[in-house]
Amino acid sequence: MKYFRPNSIDDYFAISEQNSTLFVGGTDLIPRYERGQTLPDTIIDLKKLPDFIGIKKVGDNIVIGAGTTIEEIKNNELIKQHFNALWQATTEFGSVQIRNRATIGGNICNASPSGDTLPSLYAFGAKLLLRNKNGERTIPIDEFITGPGKTAIKKSEILLAVILPQSSAKSLFYKLGLRAAMAISVVNFAIVSDGSALTIATGAVAPTIIKLSGLKTHSIDQILEIVDSAISPIDDIRATALYRRKALKNMLRFELEKIVK
């Protein structure tokens, strides 16, 4: 097995044509190989790529490098000030050890329906910056994730950054797991309200995150009916579909009563 650690985008694309696996935090990658998955011919470590790690304000946007760890996001004042729901999600993300390795780009590209950063990114209207050797493109996150473990990224592309429009909206994140900490979500959701608009994004109740906008004029009962008709939960080792429906509606009602007047 070969290991590369490119220092520039050009260096990366010079070697990315090989049968390679990308590596940053490794919190999903390493366990797969420990379970017997075949090791790749080549590992490319992305941590030295320019602007791949860090959080900065660019115009009216907050830009988060795809290689930024969950712990870095948790400790960032811009995130805490403008995107409370995302900040809350980072506080409930795994253990301290995992947060210091796991990255936001990995959580997105893993495309798990229960990914804890995803509902907030959907609700805040995040866009993703993708790069290939010929140029860049941006794509809304809800067009990027196409199914469990599936994304619209092309073989020649790399996810460089997450772009969030700077927000002054009130927001919150809620996660229900089978234990108090270090649990995969049974259900999770983010609520974003700016006074004139209300958006809910919920995870672990459909193949992808369900995002519902334009809810401001509806009563709580109407909102819960809209959510219930939009989701399609399944039975798995963590919960039944019926439990997920009831738990989501109960916790949404509890949280919405703090926001919807």
Asked if 47 and 147 touch (Cβ cutoff 8 Å), the reply is no
User: What pLDDT is recorded for position 86?
Assistant: 98
The CA distance from 245 to 247, in Å, is 6
* Regions in the chain scoring below 70 on pLDDT: 17-19, 28, 30-32, 179-182, 261
Task: Name all domains of the chain by residue range, CATH numbers in brackets.
Answer: 1-48 (3.30.43.10), 49-165 (3.30.465.10), 170-256 (3.30.390.50)
What residues contact 165, with CB distance under 8 A and at least 6 apart?
A: 60, 61, 124, 125
The CA distance from 192 to 83, in Å, is 9
The CA distance from 58 to 64, in Å, is 10
Q: What angle do CA 115, 243, 182 make, to 5 degrees?
A: 40
Q: Which two tokens stand for residue 134?
A: 């010929």
User: What pLDDT is recorded for position 225?
Assistant: 98
User: What pLDDT is recorded for position 67?
Assistant: 95
pLDDT tens digits for range 201-238: 999 999 999 999 999 999 999 999 999 999 999 999 98
Q: Beta-strand (E) ranges in the chain? A: 2-4, 20-23, 42-45, 55-58, 61-65, 127-132, 135-140, 145-147, 150-151, 158-165, 170-176, 187-193, 198-203, 210-212
Rg (CA), the chain: 19
User: What pLDDT is recorded for position 196?
Assistant: 86
Q: Which two tokens stand for residue 151?
A: 């994304």
Amino acid at 122: Y
Q: Which two tokens stand for residue 4?
A: 């590369």
